[in-house]
Chain A
Amino acid sequence: MDSPQIVISASPHVHSDRTSKRIMYDVVIALIPAFLVSLYVFGYNALIATSVAIFSCLLFEYLIQKYLMKTEVTITDGSALLTGILLAFNIPAGLPIWMIIVGSLVAIGIAKLSFGGLGFNVFNPALVGRVFLLVCFPVQMTLWPTAVENNTSLADAVSGATTLGIIKDGLQFGETMTEISAKIPSSVNMLLGITGGSIGEMSALALILGGLYLIIRKVISWHIPVMILVTIGLMTGIFWFIDPEHYANPIIHLLSGGAILGAFYMATDLVTSPMTKKGMVIFAIGIGAITVVIRLFGAYPEGISFAILIMNAFVPLINNYFKPRRFGSKIKAKIT
């Protein structure tokens, strides 16, 4: 037979145009506004850190798959690229390059490929990389650079520490929120990105913009980000309501410290989040609650990375207990 043979396969014979690759690249597109903001705030440092993270993630994925695991190389599926970007977004702009490379190795090698590659990892790779760096190099990882010099107008606002860091330090020294609030950026500045922090967590507005794009493109559902933010807002709100002098108001909590980055981009990672909507809600409430507990009572000023990783561990359990309701399961079949 010269002409191509008739193909036989089981139904269905059509497929939607949604592919894993498209999902990954949609997330990358959604992160562009936030990246532009950080480029504006941190200048070339942000570009260098991001490129290094992306490049080393892709390289490690290639090397490990090719020479260590001897499996098919899947660097074009966009997942390693995404891990690189997200890792970069979670570290301060001035971090030494070798540390970024170490972080990438941990993210790709330990958190992703040692579990079996895309789809099998229990923990969000970028976050594992970030937390590894935070635990190993706490000084460098909390050294927030000031804005680049040509943006002098911002120099005052970016004070070398994150908003949450200032609050935590202030409270430990017995200052009240009224005194502290003079030192931290205003809510409007936090929304726009004129604040201190990791590369990606600068502008809440840019992050929300990208998040909305993801929701519209149906890459993520609204459940996880909304429920995380609602939980954080509610819990910090209650504490603030009880004692506004010792607890920051919920708006500060929501707009600072990567709450939005975490809620929209890290917690919604498809692989490490639950499958059902019910499960997603539980997962999100868990993340919100743990974040608040760490922020208010823990040693670290910021806790959403830890919260997400902790809840990642519960995902298999959540999947097991929060199953979709089976059609027709509420009534028993009449035996005729």
Chain B
Amino acid sequence: MLKTFPKGGIHPPENKLTSSKKIKRLPVPKVVYVPIAQHIGIPAEIIVDRKDKVEIGQVIAKSGGFVSSNIHSPVAGTVTKLDMVIDSSGYKKQCIVIRTDVKNESNFQDIEYPLKKEISLEPIEILKRISDFGIVGLGGATFPSHVKLNVKEGIKIDCLIINGVECEPYLTADHRLMLEKAEEIIVGIKILMSALHVNKAVIGIENNKRDAVELFKHLTANEKEIQVAALQVKYPQGGEKQLIRAILKREVPKNGLPLDVGVIVHNVGTIFAIYQAIQHNQPLIERVVTVTGKKLGDPSNFWVKIGTPINDLIEEVGGMPEGTRKIVNGGPMMGKAIKNTDVPVTKGTSGILIINEDEASRGEAKNCIRCGECVDVCPMGLEPHLLMNLTEKGMYEKAGQEDIMTCIECGSCSYVCPSHRPLLDYIRFGKNITKKLASSKN
């Protein structure tokens, strides 16, 4: 029996169209739009000005606090303006617009570094560099990595979990990265283990990526400290709490953190970014993005510079197909629908999904038939139908008592609801209000 988390979860059609497509390098865009709020927390502070010349990898916006991150220029070029551009939040946000210098060769150099295994940095230096080089969680939540790694004294970490689950349908960015950069990822894991003084690491991979499971098992055959866990295919296994439960059978306490059970979880993409930063001095300026959709000419995986307009990606796979009704930044379960293709790729963009008209529209919401399916699939043991009702009626306090804040917004409830009720829409709204009420009380 493969490992998995016990309560809830769904199995949507996988549609991993691009799992056999090698990651290609997207041509360097002419202009990049680098938002200053690419991570959870405080937006970075812009430290360049109009007409400034910037080098590739140069810091262009400085971390605005502890829960924040540096932002580096993905290209060498000139800052043309500081503008407001719609990003995936649907609102206009501050962006640094950089025109690529076509004469500067550093833009077009091959960034494929040779594998480097020896770790020469001290733990303190490693953590400092992760913070300086703008590494954030690349799984989608974009939580600044140095905050996660900042373990206070007295807390014992005994296991590092590497999240290679990629439970979202359609997306294959992590899968391809694991296949193509397996050895680098293993070095990355060792870097983190030495930085955290942990001597156990587990790589969790869902069993629909057999090739990746086999590859890692093969590569870690002689490494006692690194294990590979093949997991049953179930959404949302990529959720931190579900993954820890599946692999270690430990349950992160309500309102607690993985640290509370002695675990730190990092995405494989993040591990690779850490490897690049520590071994090759490369800040986080590019990432793997899956561009996919059933009607696309040639869905593929790409190495993409942060700040590249999504339009460039779509052009690369054969242009926007006829009848496109929805563009999703991320996977179909948790991604955000975006307004237009000028939205730039950010550190959190793991995929672009193009949905055509037959699948874009939501079903009409009908009465709740109280089938209890949402209760069944909720991986957090919540009652989504109840939370929606309470939020709809404005009973936020009661919703808080029913643990609305522990919702991980995986969308399983909305996915299964036979009456097409917008459960998650209301729960998310309820969470927002509850958060506001809580902060106004303090």
The answer to whether A and B touch in the complex, with CB atoms under 8 Å apart, is yes
> Are A7 and B251 interface neighbours, CB within 8 A?
no
Residue from the list A11, A23, A328, A331 in contact with B418, Cβ < 8 A: A23
Are B406 and A326 in contact, CB atoms less than 8 angstroms apart? yes
B residues in contact with A299, CB < 8 Å? none
**Any chain B CB within 8 A of the CB of A19?**
yes
Q: Which A residues are CB-close (under 8 A) to B370? A: 119, 270-273, 275
Partner of B12, one of A6, A11, A16: A16
A14 within 8 A of B: yes
Distance in angstroms between the alpha carbons of A11 and B420 in the assembled complex: 13
Q: Which of A274, A326, A333 contacts B381 (CB 8 A)?
A: A326
Contact with B along A1-45 (1 / 0, CB 8 A): 000111111111111101110110000000000000000000000
With a CB–CB cut-off of 8 A, which chain A residues contact B335?
11, 13
Stretch at the interface among B51-59, B77-85, B158-166, B324-332: B324-332
Q: A77-B366, A270-B372 are in contact. Are A9 and B251 (CB under 8 A)?
A: no
Cβ of B379 and Cβ of A270 under 8 Å apart? no
Contact B254 A329, beta carbon cutoff 8 Å: yes
Q: Is A300 an interface residue (CB 8 A)?
A: no
Q: Which of A23, A328, A331 interacts with B241 by CB under 8 Å?
A: A328
Q: Enumerate B51-95 residues with CB–CB distance to A below 8 Å.
A: 90
Q: Is the CB of A329 within 8 A of B367?
A: no
Q: A23-B418, A271-B369 are in contact. Are A11 and B254 (CB under 8 A)?
A: no
A6 contacts B380, C-beta separation under 8 Å: no
Size class of B's contact patch? 35 or more
Interface residue range, chain A: 35 or more
- Contact yes or no, B339 A16, CB < 8 A: no
With A15-B362, A20-B366 as given contacts, are A324 and B375 in contact (CB-CB < 8 Å)?
A: yes
- Pairwise interchain contact A13-B241, C-beta atoms closer than 8 A: no
In the complex formed, the residue of B with least CB distance to A19 is B418
Q: Does A70 contact B (CB under 8 A)?
A: no
With A12-B334, A275-B370, A328-B252 as given contacts, are A7 and B326 in contact (CB-CB < 8 Å)? yes
Task: Report the separation of the CA atoms of residues A120 and B419 in the bound assembly, to the nearest whole angstrom.
Answer: 14
In the complex, what distance in Å separates the CA atom of A272 from the CA atom of B370? 8
Check B373–A15 contact: CB distance below 8 A. Answer: no
Q: How far is the CA of A327 from the CA of B240 in the complex (A)?
A: 12
* Binding site secondary structure of chain B: loop
Complex-state Cα separation, A327 to B370, whole angstroms: 22
Asked if residues B362 and A9 are in contact (CB atoms below 8 Å), the reply is: yes
B337 touches A9 (CB 8 A): yes
User: Does A160 interact with chain B (Cβ within 8 Å)?
Assistant: no
Q: B152 and A15: CB pair below 8 A?
A: no
Q: Give the secondary structure class of A's interface.
A: loop
**A172 within 8 Å of B (CB atoms):** no
Contact of B380 among A5, A18, A326 (CB under 8 A): A326
Are A334 and B418 in contact, with the CB atoms below 8 A? Answer: no
With A77-B366, A119-B368 in contact, do A329 and B381 touch (Cβ < 8 Å)?
Answer: yes
Stretch at the interface among B22-30, B273-281, B408-416: B408-416
- The answer to whether the Cβ of B49 comes within 8 Å of any Cβ in the partner chain is no
- Taking the closest CB of chain A, its distance from the CB of B101, in whole angstroms, is 33
A150 at the interface (CB under 8 A from B): no
Q: Is the CB of A15 within 8 A of B369?
A: no
Whether B169 contacts A11 by the Cβ 8 Å rule is no
Nearest-CB distance from B375 to chain A (Å)?
Answer: 5
Closest 8 A/B residue pairs (Cβ): A275-B372, A12-B411, A119-B367, A333-B256, A328-B254, A270-B371, A333-B253, A326-B381
A/B interface sample: 27 pairs, CB < 8 A: A6-B325, A6-B340, A8-B326, A8-B339, A11-B337, A11-B414, A11-B424, A12-B334, A13-B353, A13-B355, A15-B420, A16-B12, A19-B419, A74-B366, A119-B368, A119-B369, A275-B370, A275-B385, A327-B252, A328-B254, A328-B256, A329-B253, A333-B254, A333-B255, A334-B253, A336-B259, A336-B260
Q: Which residues of B contact A (CB under 8 A)?
A: 7, 10, 12-13, 90, 152, 155, 169, 241, 245, 251-256, 259-260, 323-328, 330, 332-340, 353, 355, 357, 359-363, 366-373, 375-376, 378-383, 385, 403, 406, 409, 411, 414-416, 418-420, 422, 424-425, 428
Q: A11-B336, A328-B406 are in contact. List 6 more A-B contacts (CB 8 A).
A: A8-B337, A8-B339, A10-B337, A14-B333, A275-B372, A328-B252
